[in-house]
Amino acid sequence: MQRFITYSKVLFVLGGFFYLFISCVKEEPHLLSKSDSYQVEFYINNTNPQNWEKNALKNDVYLPQTQKIASVNPMNEGENGRYLYFWSFNGENLLPDVFINKGTEIEFEVEGSSSESYPAGFPHDAYPAGKAVSVRGLQEVIIKMPLDSVTEVDEIGFDISSSDTGPKAFHILYSNDNAASYDTLSADNQFQNLSAQSKNHFSFLLDTLQWNFEYPLHIKIEALPGDREGVGEMKSTGATRLDNLYLKGEGNFPESSTENTLYYWIFDYLTGDLVIADSVKNEKDFYPIHLDLKQGEYITHFVSNFSSVPLLRPEEAQNIEDHYLGRVFGDAESEIYGSIDTIEVNEDGNIPIILKRYYTQVLFELTDAQGLNEVDEIRITPLHDPFFYAPFKENMGNPILDQSDFILYPDFEEESKSFFFNQFLGNVYENQNMHYQVEVFSGDDEQPMHTFEVEGAGMNNMKLIFRGRLLSYSEGSFTFSVQEAWDGEEEVEF
């Protein structure tokens, strides 16, 4: 059985301008006939062989039946347990990205009447830098986390920063009696980075404490002036940012928190202006989407993202030329499908959506004669620039600020020596070069047993297969091929 855990190092990378482009050619439009506004129903066409249908697509994947991938959702196992709760604040609200129970609360006590804002944040695991939550005049923040489904509490952690006049230290306390009383977890925690809005990461172990899981855990962070060498005095106008807040431990988790999100964008055909942008979530099939559209011609883009990690996309794109899609590489299991169409609206009607894979499956088939029991960890790092898909602008600079990788913990069997991941490409019409570094680790060794590179080329809706020996690797001993089981399958010896 194979398990993935994300080992993401999201960096600001000014890599080469690697772009993927598909021109939007006006084809014979779907006709729909006369009034100021019409109701148009879009639906997934489940009768077309090229359509999107989750179970059908999963069943035709050529993979050993023993392989199982865990998503990069932060609930995956890691040091000091799994994420019971995680807030990225990238959605610009106080709702957790990961939660084992509902009923979380975050309350800020501030000096004055400051409310929350969401400036730039810090990267964490598979989550891009995105946003952080910020308040001015922070005195304390209290986080409530129910423990109903929790069996073990191990660690609390977060990233914190402040302006020159914000706090530079804090006390952290905890309560497990419905906030009737608090005990000190750690006093006078000094920022190491004092410059304005520089990241400080803190984590605190909780595994030696006794917990009553019938009551929620309350964490209180009390702001302090701290050592202020080189910065101004603490003032009520000082801003504090909190990001990547998490609680780790063990518990009775849901089977999967992965969900399918269908994003859609409707653009005016003549001006390119954005008319509608929205998304809906559903674990299985989508009900028809009903939209009111004025008479005219439109370009539509529907994208299904089966993953626990949101798509990378522009936050405020108002024109078709600003539109692009991307995916964090560490989100190794995600399945992304899409469809672009041109429609003409003249009457009420319905339009089928035929979704196609926007990714290639990268499969390693290992030919080692000996067993691979000594292999405990494999790290995959992309050496190519991050892929992105800008279907309506040929010369867009690469907007993806990501250089994530992932770690695989394999469980190889004699009859099944293979592993795989999905590489997002978009919908492309020529081969794209894919280049990876593979590091093989044994036990607790910090240095890899083997490090080598593989390289191949292919398009979306194809399988790129690397075939070769993992432990007796030598230059050129891996080969690759593209398989024609989907649109194609490329095989590479290594």
pLDDT tens-digit series, residues 311-354: 899 877 899 999 999 998 988 888 899 999 999 999 999 998 88
Please tell me whether residue 54 adopts helix, strand or coil conformation. Answer: helix
The average pLDDT across 456-477 equals 81
Residues 6+ apart with CB under 8 A from 417: 365, 366, 367, 368, 372, 470
The separation between the first and the last C-alpha atoms of the chain, rounded to the nearest angstrom, is 23
Task: Write the pLDDT tens digit of every residue in 135-156.
Answer: 999 999 999 999 999 999 999 9
pLDDT of residue 287: 64
Distance, CA of 87 to CA of 104 (rounded, Å) = 11
Question: Are residues 223 and 160 in contact, defined by beta-carbon separation less than 8 angstroms?
Answer: no
pLDDT score recorded for residue 488 = 55
Average pLDDT over residues 32-59: 53
Sheet strands side by side (includes 169-175): 105-110, 138-145, 217-224, 169-175, 183-190
* Alpha carbon distance 186, 292 (integer Å): 56
Instruction: Say how far apart CA 96 and CA 364 lie, in whole Å.
Output: 35
Rounded distance, CA 37 to CA 490, Å? Answer: 48
Lowest mean pLDDT, pick from 73-87, 321-335, 480-494: 480-494
Lowest mean pLDDT among 166-175, 198-207, 281-290: 281-290
pLDDT in tens, 216-230: 999 999 999 999 998
pLDDT tens-digit readout, 295-321: 999 999 999 988 878 889 987 789 999
Residue 280: per-residue pLDDT:
86
The tokens for 462 are 């194809």
Q: Which structure tokens are listed for 372?
A: 């691979």
- Which pLDDT score, from 0 to 100, does residue 256 have? 52
**Interior CA angle at 105 toward 157 and 101, to 5°?**
80
- Whole-number CA gyration radius for the chain: 25
The pLDDT of residue 107: 94
Q: Which of 29-33, 47-51, 152-156, 413-417 has the highest mean pLDDT?
A: 152-156
Which of 11-15, 88-92, 340-344, 478-482 has maximum average pLDDT?
Answer: 340-344
Contact 338, 359 (CB under 8 A): no
Angle in degrees, CA 452, 458, 460, rounded to 5: 120
The mean predicted confidence, pLDDT, of the chain is 80
CA distance 323 to 320: 5
**Which tokens is 475 given?**
């230059």
pLDDT at 418: 85
CA of residue 374 relative to chain centroid, distance = 31
Give 70's pLDDT tier (boundaries 50, 70, 90): very low
Percent of the chain with pLDDT over 90: 48
Phi, psi of 58 (to 5 degrees): -65, -35
Q: Is 387 left (phi over 0), alpha (psi -120 to 50) or beta?
A: beta
Question: For the residues 374-382, what does the mean pLDDT come to?
Answer: 90
